[in-house]
Chains A and B, each alone.
Chain A
C-alpha cells in the first residue's frame, strides 16, 4: 500500500484498503477558520442539537485568519460566533484575533503549533489543508457539512484515492524554489490532472527541501485537483515535529511495491523559473518569456508564499536594491512576523532590508489579499492591476477586481519583478 492508503486503513480499522473503497475514517484533527467555522458550527448545532458536545475537544483547532483586519461587521460577528462556541465547548486550541494567542494563516500556523504529526489524519474546512501532507500526514480539505459531521462524530466517509507519484531528483539550482517545482508539475498535468488522486512527492530533490518548502509543494496539490499531497516523513520531519509537540505519533511509509496509478519524473537541475499566467494555475510560462509584461504590484504572502523562508528568498534579492513598483509584504503568521526581525542577512534584518528597498508598510499576518476578501482588505485589487504574487490561485477576480490579472510566481521571481517592474527571471538581476 501507499502511505496514503496505509494512513486511511489504520484510521478506519481496516488492514487493507484499495483506491475506490468508501470507508469511515477517524479524524485526528479538525481544522477550521473564521470563514467556514461559523457555518460548520451552525450545521453541528442543527444536526446534533444545541446542547451537543464536540467529539473530542483536543482534536479541534480553530485558527481565524481570513478576514481579520477589516471593518466588515459580519466578519467580526463571525469571529464572535467562534469565541462563543469555544467558550461553550471549552476548546483548548483557539487562536483568538486581538489576543496574544492569535497566529495568522491557518496552514502555516498548524504545523508551527505542533498540531501536524506524521501518520495522522487532518481534515480542514479549507482546500489548502492539503499542505500538511508535507509532514507525512493524510490531510484534505472539506466543506462545512462534512466538518459539522466530524465535529459530532469524529468520523468522515472517505473514498480512498489512487496515487500519482512525482519523483524529483537532481540538484536544485540557487534561483529555483519549491514554488517553481509545483508550478511546473501543475502546468504539465493541468488543473484537473490529479482530480480525486493523492499526489505523492519523492526523490532526492524532495528530500533535500526544508519542511517549509515541502509545505509549498503539498499546498498547491489541490490546484491540480488532488485530494491530498503527501511526502514521506524523514529525520527533518521528526526534528521539526518533536520541537513543537510532545504528543507521540507513528509514521507510515509507502511499500516499495505499492500500486500507483502513474509516475512522473523530473530532473530539477534542468528546470527554469516559471510563472502561471492569468487565469489558471496551470497556465505555465517561463519567467524569461514574460519579460514584456509590465507589472503594477508584487504581493508576497499567504499559506503558499508567506512563510519565513519565502521572505528570506525575497530579501536575498532585495538587499541593497530598490523596488520599482508597489510591493506588498504580508507575513503569514505572528511567528513569521517576528522572524522578519530576528532573521538577518549580513547583519541586516529582513524587515530592515524590505524597508530600505521601499516596500509598502508591512501588513500584520492574515490571508489578506490572497483571496480578495472584504473591500478594505490590505492589498486587494480594485482596478486593472497586473500582479505578480507568491499565492496559489490566479482565477478571475481572485484578488478582488475582475479586471486585474494575477501571475503566480516564486519569491525569487516576485522579488526580481519588484526590482525591475516587469516580469523578471531572477537570473537576470
Chain B
C-alpha cells in the first residue's frame, strides 16, 4: 500500500451497520477483482446497494468517486467475507474509511489487500460531518480535521496490524518478515 498518509477531500457519511450488501450488492459478485477491467467496474458499483435516497458514491463520469474519505458509525462492513467490498471502495478511488468500529472480516480484508485504510475514530464522527464536507485525515498524527472550521477529531492508533499496513498488505508483510520468498 503506497497510499498517502495525508488524505484530503470531501467525505461521504454513513451511519451504523453498513453491510457488505450495501457496499457491493451480490449481483456484481460475478466480477473477479484480479481482472483489471472488472476491478475498475467493481469501483463503479461501490455502495450501489444503498437506498436511492443517498447520493451516488461513484458519481464521477469515469465511474470513480469524488469522495476519498468514507465516514461510518459502528460495525462498518458487517456481513459477508466478500473482498469485493473493500476493493470496490479502493477501486472507486477512496483511500480511507473512518468508523467507530468494524466488522472483523471487512477490517481484515482492508488490511490484507491494502485497498483502504480502516481507521477507528474516538468519537461518533458521522454526527460531526455531512456528505460533501471537506476534511483532512492524517494517518500518522491520528487526526481528522474538519476544514470548514478547523476542528480536529482524534483517531485511534491502528494497533497490532500496523506492521501489515505499513508493509502494504499481507503478501508484502509476509515477504518482509521472510515468511514467503521475495
Contacts and interface: CB of A to CB of B under 8 A. Distances in A.
A397 B112 contact: no
Interface stretch (B2-10, B57-65, B80-88, B134-142): B80-88
A193 to B, nearest CB: 10
A121 B170 CA distance: 20
B52 interface: yes
Contact of A397 (B22, B74, B82, B179): B22
Contacts of B34: 38-39, 42-43, 46, 144
Contact of A145 (B25, B35, B80, B171): B171
Nearest to B76: A192
B104 A225 contact: yes
A280 B82 CA distance: 18
Contact of B101 (A42, A157, A192, A396): A192
A405 interface: no
A72 B160 CA distance: 42
Interface string A142-165: 111110010011010101000000
Interface residues of A, number: 56
A336 B179 CA distance: 42
A39 B83 contact: yes
B171 A143 contact: no
B26 A395 contact: no
A214 interface: no
Interface in B93-109: 101-105, 108-109
A213 to B, nearest CB: 23
Contact of B74 (A192, A393, A398): A192
A127 B105 contact: yes
Interface string B1-42: 000000000000000010101100111011111110000000
B26 A371 contact: yes
Interface stretch (A244-252, A324-332, A342-350, A372-380): A372-380
Given A47-B171, A195-B101, A144 B79 contact: no
A38 to B, nearest CB: 5
Q: How large is the interface on B (under 10, 10 to 19, 20 to 34, 35 or more residues)?
A: 35 or more
B51 interface: yes
Contacts of A129: 81
A146 B112 contact: yes
Contacts of A124: 81
A120 B80 CA distance: 23
B109 A143 contact: yes
Contacts of B174: 149, 153, 157
B78 interface: yes
B170 A22 contact: no
B35 A42 contact: yes
Contacts of B154: none
Contacts of B79: 127, 393, 395
Nearest to A155: B179
B51 A402 contact: yes
Kindly name the residue among A39, A222, A227, A396 whose own CB sees the greatest number of chain B CB atoms within 10 A: A39
Nearest to A195: B104
A126 interface: yes
A78 B38 CA distance: 12
Kindly name the residue among B80, B102, B113 whose own CB sees the greatest number of chain A CB atoms within 10 A: B80
Contact of B103 (A39, A195, A395): A195
A172 B18 CA distance: 35
B44 interface: no
A24 interface: yes
A159 B107 CA distance: 13
Contacts of B164: 157
B160 A22 contact: yes
Nearest to B169: A145
Contacts of B31: 74
Given A372-B27, A397-B22, A145 B51 contact: no
A125 interface: yes
B103 A142 contact: no
B49 interface: yes
B104 A227 contact: yes
Contact of B49 (A38, A125, A402): A402
B80 A127 contact: yes
Contacts of B171: 47, 145, 149
Nearest to A372: B26
A199 to B, nearest CB: 12
Kindly name the residue among B25, B26, B82 whose own CB sees the greatest number of chain A CB atoms within 10 A: B26
Given A36-B82, A398-B21, 13 more contacts: A22-B160, A24-B179, A38-B34, A42-B34, A67-B29, A144-B34, A146-B108, A149-B112, A155-B179, A191-B78, A225-B103, A227-B104, A393-B21
Closest 5 CB pairs of A and B: A42-B34, A143-B83, A74-B30, A143-B109, A192-B75
17 contacts: A20-B160, A35-B29, A39-B32, A39-B33, A74-B32, A81-B32, A124-B81, A129-B81, A145-B113, A145-B169, A191-B17, A195-B101, A372-B26, A372-B27, A373-B26, A398-B21, A400-B27
